[in-house]
A and B are shown apart, each in its own frame.
Chain A
Amino acid sequence: MLRVLILVGIGLTLSLAEYVPGQVIVKYKDTPSVVIASSRGSISSMNNRHPNTPFIIHRESSIIEQKQSLLTIQGSRTRRHPFEGLQRIEFDPSTNIDEALNWIRSQPDVEYAFPNVVMRALDTVPNDEYYMSNQRTNDTAMFFENAWDISTGSASIIVAVIDTGVDYTHPDLMGKVIKGHDYVNNDEDPLDDNGHGTHVAGIVAAIGNNSIGVSGVNWNCQILAEKVLDSLGGGNSVSASLAIIDAVDAGAAIINLSLGGTYTSGYDIAIDYAYDHNVVVVAAMGNYGPNGENRYTTGLGTDVSILKSSPACNDSGLNKVIGVANLNYNKKKSDSSNYSNLFCDISAVGTNIYSTTLGHSYVFLSGTSMASPMIAGVASLILSISPNLSVSEVKTLLFGGAHNIDSFNSVLPNGSLGSGIVDAYRSLFSMTQVSTTNSGMSQIVKFFNYKNPVELTQGATSFHIETTTVPESCSIKIFSLSGKLIKTFVFIPSSWIVSLGDDNISWTLRDESGNYVPTGVYIAILDVRDSLGHVSRKSHKVLVK
């Protein structure tokens, strides 16, 4: 029976692939009846059996160690524990458990081995009236239910909806809307007279688990309503820019812009202002061109790299705005959604989205206007857990959790839909793996350069680093393939993420003497030292062409 349970456990593990870091359970073929365990490993531990174990083992002990000790002291045994003989091996937390398992299972003295799987409560499913019938298919594509196991949001987070206003009397939004400015009527009553803004607000923050209507991505956050579009959905960029600044000054953590139009640099000042105040700006990529380009020709939306019809294109090339494309629930881009491998950062399901509207009612709407608040909502969940994260850190969590969907959209150039479809659970779960403080062991999560390959004519390439805690210090050494040291960077990061825009580490493709390196492959080695004195290392290949 135990073997059956173990095999079932392995099967579940293979499908979920979510392990307790650094732990494997092993059963040796010749385990003695009583295993003497210690922090240095038992007499029959893996380290003693295989001195050349290719992994760092910190500890090995029986998983029923305490009960065994008690039985040994008492000198008698009344029954055999079902788990007797099972050993818990604790590797270095950075160990790849799949590789460790494969190696352990290949050893002749191992009967079987399996990972220690993370368990959690079943997915959180809200009881809202229309959730199961009209929302769940879309929401599960973005793993909201799993994410709600971790957080359903915080009332301290304010998401600004700069749109047609919000119907703050709607039962699913009542009590959580902060009234901003109405730039259409020039008053302080941003009541929605179109329905678009109310729909967007409901996607972000409709009250969850209240038995009525729908559930927003963030059940508890507040909405700051800024009305810049009139009853026909029209407005101007000056009003939108002023509203962005208003929202920043009012304490919004996130700003959603489900609007667009002909490109104007008029947004730049406001977007810079938001970015400089560490406010996340999310913008819809737009549907077709601003004048309906491609609506009747290709039916494929528009590459906004050319038209720049979305505020996502107003980030001066520094990615200050998160551009969002619209998907169907099957991960294919909606025909109407614009795209861009320059300005689109991530995608979300924004097709047939059921949300709040005027008249205390609900309606299905589709478009990047609906996809954008999905991302704003996930960003608000992230900030609900860690309100002090930087914009870069939020983006890293969002993009790092997303699933690449280029293969579902092969008609588009790779990267046209950004990092892919958002996975709220993966973004939130990865937060449990990192700490924004510099306490504790710092392991390297990601280390790479971009662009890679980099051409000599491009002049430089940037390094991107993510660690589990804020390191004490970092160094990057660049070697030639034959082991010659070319360049050294030593720096003290201010965050667990080092990337363009923050602690930017950029290599100008020159050696210490200032000479350009020849084309070829170079090895970059990152050493991260944490507050405990541990050093973790990761390498990466940089191709200069």
Chain B
Amino acid sequence: MRHIIIVLLFISCVFAAGARVDLKYDYLHAGIAPRIQALGETGMISAEGPESIYYNPALLVFDTDKTLLVGMTNLGYDQQQFFAYYRLPIAYRNALFSIGLVSHQISGIEVRNASNAFPQNMTASDMMLVMGISRFLGPRTSFGMSLQWMLDDYTTDHQVGVNFLFGLSHYYSDKVRANIIFRYLGEGQMVAGSGVRLSIGDQLILYSTADLFLSDGLNQVILHNGLAWSVTSGFELLVGCDGANLSFGATQCFDGFAIQLSYTDTPIGSRYSVGIELL
């Protein structure tokens, strides 16, 4: 099993040399969970809670004390995103199940048919329902898969998208974890990704991922990197880099819940996100 994973990781890295992250459902890359945003959108390897079903469902079996995450992201340009994820164990081969809902809307879009036409304003919205399942394949390896339904109210045929995601996660040691994912976006578009989590000392964790767009390659590589610093046992400072976007954030655990905050600086402005996680 270990060798299979190594081979898959190698293939994924080779592909990553000439690809970039996809633009389809682009908004989903900008605000699914505050902690992930702060870590430079490295969710494929850094997700810890029920939101793992979007990034890498194989991670669902870890950190099982985190059951619910709700929050919102202000993406700027009159757009907001609301999200909620819930995780629960199911009585079949120790599997874990999670479900999530992401709602996104953007207002203030000027509708014009001609340069001399008087504009009307419209609002466009999208929604994603995601559910997934995960279980351990062995003492160090987990597997998960999820299914996402996306729909919008603005494309010509009110596009309904179906998105499949498969993930594998493997612990090499207490210090090193490696993941791979494969996502099918529909219409022949696919994304593969790989990621590594390295613990540096007792307080620092480095997350690095690469996304690979397998169809309509755009000849641009986007790497994601994040660094988490456990300042105390309940307080974590986060910093990340997602292409040209720089992000910062923090998580603070309290008795029974945690708060996640993030701020991201992008070439088109800033966005911020806040979330509450039940422990």
In the assembled complex, the Cα of A455 lies from the Cα of B25 at a distance in Å of 17
Q: Which of A319, A406, A519 contacts B118 (CB 8 A)?
A: A406
- A399 in contact with B77 given A452-B110, A481-B30 (CB within 8 Å): no
Smallest CB–CB gap between A375 and chain B, Å? 13
Contact, CB under 8 Å: B266 / A521: no
With a cutoff of 8 Å between Cβ atoms, the chain B residues found around residue A176 in the complex are none
Interface size class of B (residues with CB under 8 A): 35 or more
With a cutoff of 8 Å between Cβ atoms, the chain A residues found around residue B27 in the complex are 481-482, 520-521
With a cutoff of 8 Å between Cβ atoms, the chain B residues found around residue A513 in the complex are 218-219
Nearest B-chain residue to A415, judged by Cβ? B117
In the assembled complex, the Cα of A97 lies from the Cα of B160 at a distance in Å of 43
Contact, CB under 8 Å: A415 / B114: yes
In the assembled complex, the Cα of A419 lies from the Cα of B109 at a distance in Å of 19
Among A399, A406, A419, A523, chain B packs the most CB atoms within 10 A around the CB of A523
With a cutoff of 8 Å between Cβ atoms, the chain A residues found around residue B120 in the complex are 414
Q: Which 8 A-B pairs have the closest CB atoms?
A: A483-B266, A482-B30, A404-B118, A399-B116, A518-B24, A450-B112, A480-B26, A464-B115
With a cutoff of 8 Å between Cβ atoms, the chain B residues found around residue A395 in the complex are 116
Contact, CB under 8 Å: B79 / A418: no
Q: Which of B78, B116, B244 contacts A483 (CB 8 A)?
A: B244
Smallest CB–CB gap between B271 and chain A, Å? 8
Contact, CB under 8 Å: B23 / A484: yes
- A520 in contact with B218 given A415-B113, A540-B110 (CB within 8 Å): no
Interface size class of A (residues with CB under 8 A): 35 or more
In the assembled complex, the Cα of A15 lies from the Cα of B78 at a distance in Å of 28
Contact pattern, A 516-545, Cβ under 8 Å of B = 1, otherwise 0: 011111010100000000000001110101
In the assembled complex, the Cα of A526 lies from the Cα of B222 at a distance in Å of 25
A341 interface residue (CB < 8 Å to B) = yes
Contact, CB under 8 Å: A521 / B109: yes
Contact, CB under 8 Å: A483 / B113: no
In the assembled complex, the Cα of A517 lies from the Cα of B23 at a distance in Å of 7
A471 interface residue (CB < 8 Å to B) = no
A462 interface residue (CB < 8 Å to B) = yes
CB within 8 Å of A: which B16-50 residues: 21-27, 29-30
With a cutoff of 8 Å between Cβ atoms, the chain A residues found around residue B106 in the complex are 481, 521, 541
A499 interface residue (CB < 8 Å to B) = yes
Contact, CB under 8 Å: B26 / A482: yes
In the assembled complex, the Cα of A483 lies from the Cα of B79 at a distance in Å of 13
Smallest CB–CB gap between B60 and chain A, Å? 24
Contact, CB under 8 Å: B115 / A500: yes
Among A406, A448, A455, A484, chain B packs the most CB atoms within 10 A around the CB of A484
With a cutoff of 8 Å between Cβ atoms, the chain B residues found around residue A399 in the complex are 115-116
In the assembled complex, the Cα of A323 lies from the Cα of B172 at a distance in Å of 74
- A541 in contact with B266 given A419-B116, A453-B154, A519-B159 (CB within 8 Å): no
DSSP majority for the B interface?
Answer: loop
Contact, CB under 8 Å: B79 / A481: yes
B residues at A contact (CB < 8 Å): 21-27, 29-30, 75, 77-79, 106, 108-120, 122, 124, 152, 154-156, 159, 216, 218-219, 222, 243-245, 266-268
Nearest A-chain residue to B112, judged by Cβ? A450
A485 interface residue (CB < 8 Å to B) = yes
A329 interface residue (CB < 8 Å to B) = no
Smallest CB–CB gap between B4 and chain A, Å? 33
Contact, CB under 8 Å: B23 / A543: no
Contact, CB under 8 Å: A481 / B267: no
Contact, CB under 8 Å: A520 / B23: yes
Smallest CB–CB gap between B7 and chain A, Å? 30
Smallest CB–CB gap between A506 and chain B, Å? 12
- Given A449-B112, A450-B112, A484-B23, 8 more pairs with CB closer than 8 A: A481-B79, A484-B21, A484-B244, A511-B218, A519-B152, A520-B27, A521-B109, A543-B154
Nearest A-chain residue to B187, judged by Cβ? A518
A190 interface residue (CB < 8 Å to B) = no
With a cutoff of 8 Å between Cβ atoms, the chain B residues found around residue A213 in the complex are none
CB within 8 Å of B: which A115-143 residues: none
A67 interface residue (CB < 8 Å to B) = no
In the assembled complex, the Cα of A341 lies from the Cα of B266 at a distance in Å of 40
With a cutoff of 8 Å between Cβ atoms, the chain B residues found around residue A477 in the complex are 267
With a cutoff of 8 Å between Cβ atoms, the chain B residues found around residue A515 in the complex are 216, 218
Among A345, A481, A525, A545, chain B packs the most CB atoms within 10 A around the CB of A481
Among A420, A448, A464, A521, chain B packs the most CB atoms within 10 A around the CB of A521
Contact, CB under 8 Å: A450 / B115: yes
- A452 in contact with B111 given A479-B267, A481-B30, A545-B156 (CB within 8 Å): yes
Q: Which of A418, A480, A540 contacts B116 (CB 8 A)?
A: A418
Q: Which of B23, B29, B113, B156 contacts A451 (CB 8 A)?
A: B113
In the assembled complex, the Cα of A452 lies from the Cα of B114 at a distance in Å of 9
With a cutoff of 8 Å between Cβ atoms, the chain A residues found around residue B108 in the complex are 541
- A519 in contact with B155 given A481-B77, A513-B218 (CB within 8 Å): yes
Among B75, B110, B120, chain A packs the most CB atoms within 10 A around the CB of B110
In the assembled complex, the Cα of A480 lies from the Cα of B109 at a distance in Å of 15
Smallest CB–CB gap between A327 and chain B, Å? 15
Q: Which of B24, B112, B124, B222 contacts A448 (CB 8 A)?
A: B112
Q: Which of B30, B154, B267 contacts A485 (CB 8 A)?
A: B267
With a cutoff of 8 Å between Cβ atoms, the chain B residues found around residue A481 in the complex are 26-27, 30, 75, 77, 79, 106
With a cutoff of 8 Å between Cβ atoms, the chain A residues found around residue B109 in the complex are 452-453, 521, 541, 543
With a cutoff of 8 Å between Cβ atoms, the chain A residues found around residue B110 in the complex are 448, 452, 540-541
With a cutoff of 8 Å between Cβ atoms, the chain A residues found around residue B111 in the complex are 452-453
Contact, CB under 8 Å: A450 / B114: yes
Nearest B-chain residue to A420, judged by Cβ? B118
Nearest A-chain residue to B157, judged by Cβ? A545
With a cutoff of 8 Å between Cβ atoms, the chain A residues found around residue B216 in the complex are 515
Smallest CB–CB gap between A57 and chain B, Å? 22
With a cutoff of 8 Å between Cβ atoms, the chain B residues found around residue A482 in the complex are 26-27, 29-30, 245, 266
Contact, CB under 8 Å: B115 / A539: no
Contact, CB under 8 Å: B124 / A525: no
In the assembled complex, the Cα of A540 lies from the Cα of B110 at a distance in Å of 8
Contact, CB under 8 Å: A523 / B112: no
Smallest CB–CB gap between A534 and chain B, Å? 20
Contact, CB under 8 Å: A484 / B243: yes
Nearest A-chain residue to B270, judged by Cβ? A483
With a cutoff of 8 Å between Cβ atoms, the chain A residues found around residue B266 in the complex are 482-483
In the assembled complex, the Cα of A115 lies from the Cα of B208 at a distance in Å of 53
Nearest A-chain residue to B104, judged by Cβ? A481
In the assembled complex, the Cα of A518 lies from the Cα of B218 at a distance in Å of 12
Smallest CB–CB gap between B5 and chain A, Å? 29
With a cutoff of 8 Å between Cβ atoms, the chain B residues found around residue A511 in the complex are 218
In the assembled complex, the Cα of A341 lies from the Cα of B244 at a distance in Å of 43
Smallest CB–CB gap between A294 and chain B, Å? 24
Contact, CB under 8 Å: B118 / A483: no
Contact, CB under 8 Å: B116 / A455: no
Smallest CB–CB gap between A415 and chain B, Å? 5
Contact, CB under 8 Å: A483 / B30: yes
In the assembled complex, the Cα of A406 lies from the Cα of B156 at a distance in Å of 25
In the assembled complex, the Cα of A73 lies from the Cα of B109 at a distance in Å of 57
Contact, CB under 8 Å: A539 / B154: no
With a cutoff of 8 Å between Cβ atoms, the chain B residues found around residue A480 in the complex are 23, 26
Smallest CB–CB gap between A511 and chain B, Å? 6
Smallest CB–CB gap between B110 and chain A, Å? 6
CB within 8 Å of B: which A400-445 residues: 404, 406, 414-415, 418-420
